[in-house]
Structure 1
Amino acid sequence: MCPAGSRHGDIPTARTRTTTWILGVYDPACLVTLAGVLMAGAAIALAAVGRIELALVGLMLAGLADLFDGAVARRLR
């Protein structure tokens, strides 16, 4: 299944570079944001069970994802 607006055989450009999944079409910036949200949720769960060190690592990774999602979006648009 091709992303909306593209034809089979088109060479992907910055505007058509997307990933098709079961739930829809996601661009790489959204995937980076989603990774950050999932890492933040994992950090909360780790902190709730007392794994503070791992929770801090998860929060740092979530922060890095938040830092880079805008740069990814600007670069690909």
Structure 2
Amino acid sequence: MAIILIGALLTIAGLVYMAGAAIKRGQLSGGSAPAGSTGPTLEPPRRGLRFLGLSQDWPGLLMMGVGILMLLSVAIL
């Protein structure tokens, strides 16, 4: 029972860590309007996919991986 709880907590903690890291990396919304737009938008200008980099998310991925392995090990046994 404890392995299930720890696995679930690790999986959730990894997800929360990755979400927090993505939020801390940069401004999520800009107040400026892109060319051809009528008003301000929530879409940031040229953010790209750099915020999804594995080099910054590896601790969260590791926590999620260990948690999933713990949950699967209990399900298999």
TM score, norm. by length of structure 2: 0.48
* Larger relative helix fraction: 2
* Larger relative strand fraction: 1
Higher RCO (C-alpha under 8 Å, 6+ residues apart): 2
Structure with the greater alpha carbon radius of gyration = 2
